[in-house]
């Protein structure tokens, strides 16, 4: 029996419908994590246990603090708060091996310290991750608490709070809006600033030598400018989140060119474009010696103090083949022990 207007329902699904369904299937574990995190009054110390307990529908815990307090600390300290919309994770003890996106969280923490150093003229380096809160809807927001030391001034270790918001999934497009010593206050919430005018790789590499806008960086100077490698690792990892710390450590930078638009030393420029030639990224276990190219644009907002990054790998026939949505979903659930 056919009902009026039912013909549309019986039409075969389009490719768009199938892709949306696959996306929902892939994100479902994260949605379940968010639900469980909202019902918890403490940091998640075991990622796998959270998945199992959510499937068993264990009763939620009680509220011990108010949403007003959550707003006052900008979402960094949400222990005892239910319904914050954030998933809390501990990074200490055995939890070091169970929280998600470990390579990414570590590098976003370093990005926050880099932003702080740019603004304050300091030299803080990451000592240890303490905890982080995450909001996920494909692209994620990370509110990270960490310990850091100023390796040059020899100051005592400080506890930092760093917030990084992603603008999209599957590509480096993120903004660090907060990087402060715990206890310091900021002037309200800074909206993530998108990066416009993303450049392409010049058709003729000779342009790098013919223009004063470009400056080649000696490989020997990369060690004293670790932010260059940090930007590259973030670009590679956000392209394929299966990559491990070990994989990232194999990346070898062959050439770096910096493009700047302001009258300041290129290696000290707050805003710039990096053109990087590197190798060490294998494709299905092969091709580590192939040279690949990456472009990373950084924009520092002097008014708000936010640091925005956009980066991507230049496409070629030898590019890494990334997983389909179905494989990403399966691998993700497998990593959680759900399959």
How many Å apart are CA 127 and CA 104, to the nearest integer? 16
Cβ of 237: how many Cβ atoms within 10 Å? 20
Tell me: do 235 and 307 sit in the same domain: yes
Is 82 a domain residue?
yes
Tell me: do 79 and 160 sit in the same domain: yes
Tell me: do 210 and 317 sit in the same domain: yes
Tell me: do 209 and 156 sit in the same domain: no
With a CB cutoff of 8 Å and minimum separation 6, the contacts of 50 are 33, 36, 37, 44
User: How many Å is the Cα radius of gyration of the chain?
Assistant: 22
Which range of residues forms the domain containing residue 251?
Answer: 202-321
Tell me: do 226 and 140 sit in the same domain: no
Helix and strand numbers, DSSP H then E, in the chain = 8, 10
Give the Å distances, CA to CA, from 160 to 61, 124, 149. Answer: 29, 10, 10
Give pLDDT, residue 338: 61
How many Å apart are CA 298 and CA 97, to the nearest integer? 31
Tell me: do 177 and 209 sit in the same domain: no
Q: Which of 128, 160, 185 is the last residue of a domain?
A: 185
Q: Which of 185, 217, 236 is the last residue of a domain?
A: 185
Give pLDDT, residue 117: 96
Cβ of 99: how many Cβ atoms within 10 Å? 22
Give pLDDT, residue 83: 63
Give pLDDT, residue 191: 61
CATH code for the domain in which residue 89 is found:
3.10.450.10
Is 55 a domain residue?
no
Give pLDDT, residue 122: 95
Give pLDDT, residue 300: 93
Is 24 a domain residue?
no
Tell me: do 277 and 209 sit in the same domain: yes
Give pLDDT, residue 33: 52
Q: Which two tokens stand for residue 56?
A: 């068993």
Tell me: do 228 and 317 sit in the same domain: yes
Provide DSSP, 114-164. Answer: HHHHHHH---EEEEEEEEEEEEEESEEEEEEEEEEEETTTTPPPEEEEEEE
Give pLDDT, residue 245: 92
Give pLDDT, residue 206: 77
Tell me: do 279 and 230 sit in the same domain: yes
Give pLDDT, residue 272: 93
Tell me: do 78 and 135 sit in the same domain: yes
> Are the C-beta atoms of 339 and 265 separated by less than 8 Å?
no
Give pLDDT, residue 78: 77
> Are the C-beta atoms of 235 and 253 separated by less than 8 Å?
no
Is 224 a domain residue?
yes
How many Å apart are CA 194 and CA 172, to the nearest integer? 11
Is 57 a domain residue?
no
Is 144 a domain residue?
yes
Tell me: do 127 and 179 sit in the same domain: yes
Give pLDDT, residue 22: 46
Provide DSSP, 216-275. Answer: EEPGGGSTT-THHHHHHHHHHHHH-TT--HHHHHT-EEEEEEEE--SSS-GGG-SSEEEE
- Quote the number of domains for the chain: 2
* Low-confidence stretches of the chain (pLDDT beneath 70): 1-73, 80-84, 186-195, 210, 283-287, 316-339
Crossing angle (nearest 10°) for helices 102-120 and 227-239 = 150
Is 316 a domain residue?
yes
Tell me: do 272 and 303 sit in the same domain: yes
Give pLDDT, residue 261: 78
Is 330 a domain residue?
no
pTM across the whole model:
0.73
The whole-angstrom distance between residue 267's C-alpha and the CA centroid of its chain comes to 23
Give pLDDT, residue 332: 60
């Amino acid at each position: 029996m056919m009902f009026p207007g039912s013909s549309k329902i019986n039409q075969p699904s389009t490719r768009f419908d199938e892709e949306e369904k696959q996306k929902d299937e892939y994100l479902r574990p994260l949605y379940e994590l968010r639900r469980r995190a909202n019902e918890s009054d403490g940091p998640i110390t075991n990622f796998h246990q959270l998945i199992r307990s959510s499937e068993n529908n264990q009763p939620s815990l009680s509220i011990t603090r108010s949403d007003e307090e959550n707003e006052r600390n900008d979402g960094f300290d949400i222990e005892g708060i239910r319904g914050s919309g954030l998933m809390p994770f501990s990074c200490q003890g055995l939890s070091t091996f169970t929280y998600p996106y470990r390579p990414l969280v570590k590098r976003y923490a370093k990005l926050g310290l880099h932003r702080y150093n740019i603004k304050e003229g300091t030299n803080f380096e990451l000592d240890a991750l303490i905890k982080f809160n995450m909001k996920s809807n494909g692209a994620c927001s990370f509110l990270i608490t960490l310990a850091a030391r100023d390796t040059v001034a020899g100051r005592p270790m400080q506890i930092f709070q760093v917030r990084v918001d992603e603008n999209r999934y599957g590509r480096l497009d993120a903004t660090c809006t907060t990087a402060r010593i715990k206890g310091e206050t900021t002037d309200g919430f800074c909206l993530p600033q998108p990066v416009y005018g993303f450049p392409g790789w010049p058709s003729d590499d000779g342009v790098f030598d013919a223009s004063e806008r470009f400056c080649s960086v000696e490989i020997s100077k990369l060690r004293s400018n670790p932010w260059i490698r940090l930007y590259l690792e973030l670009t590679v990892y956000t392209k394929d989140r299966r990559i491990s710390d070990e994989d990232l450590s194999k990346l070898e930078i062959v050439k770096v060119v910096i493009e700047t638009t302001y009258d300041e030393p290129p290696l000290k420029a707050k805003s710039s474009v990096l053109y990087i030639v590197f190798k060490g990224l294998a494709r299905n276990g092969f091709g580590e010696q192939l040279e690949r190219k990456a472009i990373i644009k950084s924009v520092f907002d002097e008014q708000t103090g936010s640091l925005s990054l956009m980066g991507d790998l230049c496409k070629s026939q030898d590019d890494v083949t990334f997983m389909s949505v179905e494989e990403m979903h399966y691998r993700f659930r497998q990593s959680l022990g759900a399959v």
